[in-house]
């Protein structure tokens, strides 16, 4: 399972989302967690159709199973991660 947080440098909600993802990640030791800065990775962000930050994308075997914009709660991240369980 992969959890990808799309962020931007001057995004205050991104700071909160990053903290939530870190807390959730402690409960998901086998999850691969990445943060992608949309301006530094413009091609990937455009290809993934990221329209706002923060945006959390959860993938199972490379296939997107969940996407949400905004600051999630730890419980929301865990529920989204459950969708990626094999």
Tokens for 81, please give them. 């991660």
Residue 85 scores a pLDDT above 80: yes
Output the average pLDDT for the chain: 94
8 Å CB contact between 15 and 46: no
Residue 27 scores a pLDDT above 70: yes
Write down the pLDDT at residue 86. Answer: 67
* 2-82: CATH topology: Glutaredoxin (3.40.30)
25-53: string of b/e by CB count within 10 Å (b at 16+)?
A: beebeebebeebbbeeeeeebeebebeeb
Residue 3 scores a pLDDT above 80: yes
Write down the pLDDT at residue 32. Answer: 95
- Of 17, 29, 34, 9, the C-alpha closest to 77 is 17
Domain boundaries, the chain: 2-82
């Amino acid at each position: 399972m992969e959890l990808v947080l799309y962020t931007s440098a001057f995004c205050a909600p991104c700071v909160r989302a990053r903290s939530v993802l870190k807390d959730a990640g402690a409960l998901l030791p086998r999850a691969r967690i990445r943060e992608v800065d949309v301006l530094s990775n413009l091609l990937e962000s455009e290809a993934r159709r990221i329209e706002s930050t923060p945006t959390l994308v959860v993938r199972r075997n490379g296939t997107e199973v969940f996407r949400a914009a905004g600051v999630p709660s730890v419980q929301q991240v865990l529920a989204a991660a459950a969708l990626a369980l094999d």
